[in-house]
Structure 1
């Protein structure tokens, strides 16, 4: 794994697929740090597979927008909990725009809070241009509601720029709701 990870970081490999030989033709990725993998991740991936009718893959980026890079020991520790259970893809793509360029046609599963960041000008200089690029790449987003600000909020609570609503697919609360976070689990 170390040699492949070194090559990934050096830009010699676009990604590393773990758990199968070929990337699914119709995939939906759940990007995360998986520290630890928990019922929220698993339930969200399962619900996203159902609404998107795509095969679920977990994506772990060695580089992250808000966190330090992962070292080989940490990558292997996080992958170990997925072994035999999930297909995973390792990337060095910290943003959804970079992930989409790397894996055109892939769809993403995410929670309300991540969708808010995706559409925030604080994270992206030109949100409409980014959304246009997602459309060109045939990228979509399945969005699950989350407990946010003391109440459950979903895709209907997000202001999506006009003309881009079709890029977002709601995951109904009846299909998935898990009020849990990795941060809360680690603090227990």
Structure 2
């Protein structure tokens, strides 16, 4: 019989919780705080951001990996297991089939999502929704489900430092977003840069 990871990747389930001891569950209560990402690979920046978020919220941060992606093919079962293995003995992971934050909020209501300023910018960019009305409706949907965003400073590919102050939050939704001060957290590390460095290594 296939396990829960197989069922999730196959589309039979839309959410699976992986506990630090390796146990899998299909209907665990949502965590209070979640740090989403691909974690390919997990690095110290992710772990430090989770630690700071825990200090600010008073809630243990779980990590979230969506096995489906808006722009990329779905993850294979082997890839999911490899990424999960990085968290063994470290942290809870929510595996989902929710590539967008609207979908994540439906699976994980009441959650505070821990994101970088670059992600916050995409959250309020109408082009990612088709038009401004759909973007506003999505923000309202997430707000109605009790979700919030804790936003970290992030340096972009050009080295420009972006923070929540640089994000044009639509009127009426400022309460959804809380900044993490740069004095508490900033990392320029990225999983893509780490992968590129590994490929370039002799």
Sort the TM-score into its range (normalised by shorter chain). Answer: over 0.9
CA shift, 1:25, in A, is 5.9
Show structure 1 runs of 5+ residues with no match.
none
Instruction: State the match for 1:13 in structure 2.
Output: 13
Structure 1 runs of 4+ aligned residues shifted over 3 Å read 9-12, 20-26
SS at match of 2:127: coil
TM-score if structure 2 supplies the norm length?
Answer: 0.86
Range 124-133 or range 78-87, more displaced: 124-133
Report 1:32-181 matches (<5 A).
32-125=37-130, 126-148=134-156, 149-181=158-190
1:52–1:142 contact (8 Å) kept in structure 2: no
Range 46-55 or range 153-162, more displaced: 46-55
CA shift, 1:8, in A, is 2.0
Measured at CA, do residues 150 and 10 of structure 1 come closer, stay the same or move farther in structure 2, by a change above 3 Å? closer
The CA distance in 1 between the partners of 2:73 and 2:12, in whole Å, is 21
CA shift, 1:166, in A, is 0.3
CA shift, 1:10, in A, is 4.6
TM-score if structure 1 supplies the norm length?
Answer: 0.92
The CA distance in 2 between the partners of 1:44 and 1:24, in whole Å, is 23
Instruction: State the match for 2:200 in structure 1.
Output: none
Aligned length: 188
Tell me the alpha carbon deviations over residues 14-53 of structure 1, each in whole angstroms, 9 at most, x when there is no partner. Answer: 3111116674665211111110000111111112222222
Measured at CA, do residues 143 and 46 of structure 1 come closer, stay the same or move farther in structure 2, by a change above 3 Å? same
2:30–2:108 contact (8 Å) kept in structure 1: no
The CA distance in 2 between the partners of 1:59 and 1:150, in whole Å, is 26
